[in-house]
Amino acid sequence: MSVNIVEDTHNFLAMLEKKINVDRNSYSNKVLISGMGGSGIGGRIMETLANCEDIGEIFSWNNYGIPAWMTSNDNVICISYSGNTAETLSAAKKAHEMGCQIEVITTGGELGDLADEHNWHKNYC
């Protein structure tokens, strides 16, 4: 498998821009991007861009669960290459409990299985 970080970043930005544009027409105004290590870089980049531009409330998260200020009207993007990262799985499960909209970027693992089980939108990396 070939990794092209420029193309992958462009694809991620396009996906997030589409998500934000769709969500501006709904009640949601926050996007939380959960990921650890390399899987969390996209979230940190997007949070920084969101702070510089008016593209919505985007937050990077690299911890267990999700922040208490998240609501069922918010969106969570869970990124884990392996699909088995404990913190990202915890965020996905908590977001599901709260009724958040969830998207997943993974190669499979438990996160991929959860996405299939709950019909979350899934992108393979």
d(CA 111, CA 116): 9
Element of type H or E holding 125:
none
pLDDT at 53: 81
Q: What does R_g of the chain's alpha carbons equal in angstroms? A: 13
Evaluate whether 72 touches 100 at the Cβ level (below 8 Å): yes
What's domain 5-124's superfamily in CATH?
Glucose-6-phosphate isomerase like protein; domain 1 (3.40.50.10490)
Pairing of strands 30-34, 101-106: unpaired
pLDDT higher than 90, residue 79: yes
Kindly tell me if the per-residue pLDDT of 13 is higher than 70.
no
Full-model pTM? 0.80
The amino acid sitting at 53 is E
CA-based angle 8:101:38, to the nearest 5? 30
List pLDDT tens digits, range 90-99.
Answer: 999 999 999 9
